[in-house]
Structure 1
Amino acid sequence: MSSIGWIDFDEKERERAQRLMQLFTEQEARDELGLGAIRDSIADHLFPGTSTVQTRLRYMLFVPYIFSRLPRERSSREIADQIRNDQLRLRDALVAGDEKSGVIGVNAGPKLKRLPASVYWAGLEAWGIRRFSGSIDAYVASLPSWPRNTGKDHDDDDHGAGRTVPTPWHPRLPKPPKDMLEKTSFALSDEEAGFVVDRLVDSNPDSLLAFLAKNDLRAKSEHIWSHPHLSSFPKRARGLVEHASIFSDVMYGAALQYNLLLSQLRKNEQWIEDYSKEIRKWQQYFDLTRLKAWSIEGFWEEIRHPAHRVQDPTRRFVTEWTDLVRTSSAFKRGSSKAHSLVKDRERRLKKAQSRFTNRAARDRWQGSSGAYRLQFRWSQASRHLEDLARG
């Protein structure tokens, strides 16, 4: 029986581990072929601070609003209870405000486990809204030691030069609405919208997300590479989007192949027919000329990110699959090389739990695993941009 243990390192390591465990439950983390590090590297370059479990932009303000009003005189347990209760009250206030989409925990009731703070905590630091560098538990534990006048960073005004008071939140964080925990909505005020744009531009000036937010270039495109303003993107961002598009297209074929092979082992005729049809469509519309002109060496260089390490076996798998597609070998019906490459990759990742070798694991398979084109969190980023534009 497998289990997850806890190793008590410093706060940075702890927060990194928490983020990793959160990724296992995110929808786009169904990573049967081990492409997660590449996917997240690209997503963090383009849309830093986002995650696939984020819903609406104003949570980036609701969370610091709740934390900035916490009492300092109570015990850590009492403070933690207030944090939870206030987030549950926020959920009810959003429902009272007639919000029907994106309310975290709307159906979970008091037993809600994933609270907004845990979903947005990392993003708040990435956007420069949270200045306290540590976990939520560390924040609660350190709260009594914070100075009383942390609401103002005196280095930011003309009357207190040299008298810096550390603050866990950005000093220009807007004041929370008075009725926030009674009745509220996801509509940002003008001040809130301006604050968010400023934080994005200050913290991630070269990101595509900051560019889109600053220039109000929202769009309802299915993928970022079909954005109507693609030609106006900054050069580096445009190059990353091109890399993302090609990578998504070429590896979609591997994902379909994986699902087809399992369907054949399960002898499910409907699944076999569905995936065979999808593979034919992929072959028909795949731009082989563009792939042949693609520099995979340039791809590896451009997607490098300090928070994600792409292991050598992953590089080899992607490179070998790409070579197969380039030579049209992956397009051939019953290609033994394509089959072997996908099978070997999954076996090495899952080991004893490989669906190709473990009958019980294969019988538990429900007919679909990662059979989609990667989006690199564009759906979350585009929703945030829509919310921002309404502000």
Structure 2
Amino acid sequence: MSSLAWIDFDEAERQRAQRITALFQERETRDELGLGAIRDSIADHLFPGTSTIQTRLRYMLFIPWLYRDLEKRDLPEAQLRTQARDAEIRLADALKAGGESNGIIGRDAGPRLQRLPSSVYWAGLGAWGIRVFPGSLDSLFVALRRRGRSHVTSSGEEAMAGAQAPTVWNPALPQMPSGLLERAVFHLTAEEAQFLIDRLVASQPNSLLTMLAREGIDADCDQIWTHPHLAAFPAAARRLVQHGEIFSHLMHGAALLYNLALSELRQRDDWIDTYRERLEAWSDELDLGAVRAWSLDDFWNVVEHPAHAVRPAAKRFVTEWRELVLAGTEQVVTSPAGRQLVEERERRLKTSQSRYANHAVRDRWTGASGAERLSFRWAQAKSHLRDLANAK
């Protein structure tokens, strides 16, 4: 069994490790073929501060409100942590009391809740400039513990170590509504929506999310590349969206072939039939002309993101899969070359946990792993944009 151990590097390394830990818990981050860094680079360029486990936008305000209230209390660290957890759990009950039913984090878990809203939104709060404290949530509790702590110097004078509480939130943060933990709703006020838009404009001026938020554009489309305002996107964003569309569609075939191969190993005729049908539909819908004209050199240039390292092996896999597809999509499904490429990639990534090699792991497989097209967190961005557009 593998695990992640904390290593006491600097704060940036600590936060990076926390992001990796969080990714393992997100349902849509199943990365059987090692494409996660590419997927997340595209998503972070287009929709920074989002994650696949975010639900509703007003959590970007709920968390600062609750913690700003807690920060006023001069309590030991352990008590602050307990009260913070209690407040986040009470928030779920307050949302239910306010008539909300969808998007409540911890709606059914209650005190058993494992992923608190603060951990889900902490990175996004920083990316949007709502949180100005640079550290992790754990380091915030430590900083609050140190405030006002005094010691006596060698000269007998009292000196204050960290007498000032750390600045945590943007000073323009709207005031917390009264009775928030008694009754809460997801609906944003006009003032709250403008604050969030202002933070995006200031912190992520070049992102597509900022442009759509600033212009109040709310569109109900399944994929960002089918957006009705695509032609009006900034040139850089439109270029990345077009790259993302080809990459998503092209590599979907590799994911479907992986699931077909496992279905065959499990000897599940129903799953086999499903994936054969899906691969046939994929082949029919794939625009080979667009794939042939696709510039991988340009793709790797625009995808590059400081938070994600795309390894050479991942680039080789994408390149080799593209070459196989251009040789004929029918052959990808029937010939050994495509299956071998996918199997070798998964075995190299998963080693002893490979579903090809490990019977016990394969027997626990439930019939689908990363079998949907990559959407680069458009669903979460679309939800946030709708919340902004519906503000009153």
Fold similarity call, TM over 0.5: yes
Give how far 1:331 is off. Answer: 4.2
Give the superposition deviation at 1:46: 0.2
Indicate whether 1:305 and 2:310 are aligned: no
TM superposition shift of 1:146: 5.8
CA apart distance, 1:380 = 0.3
2:77, 2:145 within 8 Å by CA — same for their partners in 1? Answer: no
Question: Where does residue 97 of structure 2 map in the other structure?
Answer: 96
User: Structure 2 matches for 1:276-295, cutoff 5 A?
Assistant: 276-295=276-295
User: Counterpart in 2 of 1:386?
Assistant: 386
What does residue 334 of structure 1 align with?
334
Quote how far apart the aligned CAs of 1:89 are. Answer: 1.3
CA distance in 2, matches of 1:221, 1:342: 31
Please report how far the alpha carbon of residue 232 of structure 1 lies from its aligned counterpart in structure 2 after TM superposition.
Answer: 0.5
Q: What does 1:152-301 align with in structure 2 at a 5 Å threshold?
A: 167-301=167-301
Distance of aligned partners of 1:98 and 1:261 in 2 relative to their CA distance in 1, 3 Å threshold: same
Aligned residues: 375
Equivalent pair of 1:324/1:330 in contact (CA under 8 Å): no
CA distance in 1, matches of 2:372, 2:329: 21
What displacement does 1:167 show? 2.4
Matched residue, 1:55: 55
Contact kept, 8 Å, 1:93 with 1:180, in 2: the verdict is yes
Task: Identify the residue that residue 19 of structure 2 maps to in structure 1.
Answer: 19
> Aligned runs of 1:100-139 on 2, under 5 Å?
100-139=101-140
Give the direction of change, closer, same or farther, for the CA distance of 1:268–1:227 in structure 2 (3 Å limit).
same
Aligned CA distance change for structure 1 residues 176 and 355 (closer, same or farther; 3 Å) = same
Calculate the TM-score normalised by the size of structure 1.
0.93
Amino acid at match of 1:192: E
SS in 2 for 1:200: helix
- 1:13 CA drift (Å): 1.4
Shift, 1:330, TM fit: 5.8
Q: Please tell me whether the aligned partners of residues 257 and 333 of structure 2 are also in contact (alpha carbons under 8 angstroms).
A: no
Amino acid in structure 2 at the alignment position of 1:199: R
- Residues 131-180 of structure 1 deviation map (CA, whole Å, 9 limit, x = unaligned): 00111111112125569xxxxxxxxxxxxxxxxx9721101000000111
Q: Check whether the contact 2:223–2:378 (CA below 8 A) recurs between aligned residues.
A: yes
The answer to whether 1:34 aligns with 2:34 is: yes
In the TM superposition, what whole-angstrom CA distance separates every residue of 1:49-69 from its partner, at most 9, and x where no partner exists?
A: 000010000000000001111
Secondary structure in 1 matching 2:334: coil
Contact 2:260–2:275 at 8 Å: present in 1 too?
yes
Spell out the pairing of 1:345-364 with structure 2 (5 A cutoff).
345-364=345-364
Corresponding residue for residue 159 of structure 1: none
Aligned to 2:85: 84
1:193 shift after superposition: 0.4
State the one-letter code of the partner of 1:334.
T
Shift >4 Å, 4+ stretches:
144-147, 329-333
Report the Cα distance in structure 2 between the residues aligned to 1:227 and 1:346, rounded to whole angstroms. Answer: 33
Please state whether the residue corresponding to 1:178 is helix, strand or coil.
Answer: coil
Shift of 1:2: 3.0
How far apart in 2 are the matches of 1:194 and 1:3? 42
Percent identity, please. 55
Instruction: Give the SS at the match of 1:65.
Output: helix
Unmatched 5+ residue regions in structure 2?
149-164
Q: Distance in 2 between matches of 1:331 and 1:387?
A: 46
Displacement of 1:250 after TM fit? 0.1
Structure 1 CA distance for aligned equivalents of residues 338 and 183 of structure 2: 56
- Gapped regions of structure 1 (runs ≥ 5): 148-164
State the SS of the aligned residue for 1:69: helix
Native 8 Å contact 1:329 1:338 kept in 2 = no
Aligned in 2, Cα 1:108/1:291: closer, same or farther, shift over 3 Å?
A: same
Matched residues in 1 for 2:316 and 2:330: separation?
A: 16
Whether the aligned pair in 2 keeps the contact of 1:248 and 1:373 (CA below 8 Å) is yes
Distance (whole Å) between structure 2 residues aligned to residue 208 and residue 380 of structure 1: 13
Distance 1:100 1:329 in 2: 44
- Per-residue deviation, residues 271-301 of structure 1 (Å, max 9, x unmatched): 1110000000001111111111110110000
1:237-266 deviations in whole A, cap 9, x for unaligned? 000000110000000000000011111111
Deviation sequence 1:3-62 (CA, Å, 0-9, x none):
332222222211211110110110111110010000000000000000001000000000
CA distance in 1, matches of 2:168, 2:255: 43
User: Which residue of structure 2 lines up, in the alignment, with residue 154 of structure 1?
Assistant: none
Distance (whole Å) between structure 1 residues aligned to residue 74 and residue 197 of structure 2: 34
In the alignment, is residue 143 of structure 1 matched against residue 133 of structure 2? no
The residue type equivalent to 1:362 in the other structure is R
Q: CA 1:15–1:333 in 2, change beyond 3 Å: closer, same or farther?
A: closer
Moved more, 169-178 or 325-334: 325-334
Q: Is the 8 A contact 1:257 1:279 kept in 2?
A: yes
Residues 169-220 of structure 1: per-residue CA shift (max 9 Å, x gap): 1010000001111101001111100000000011000000000000011111
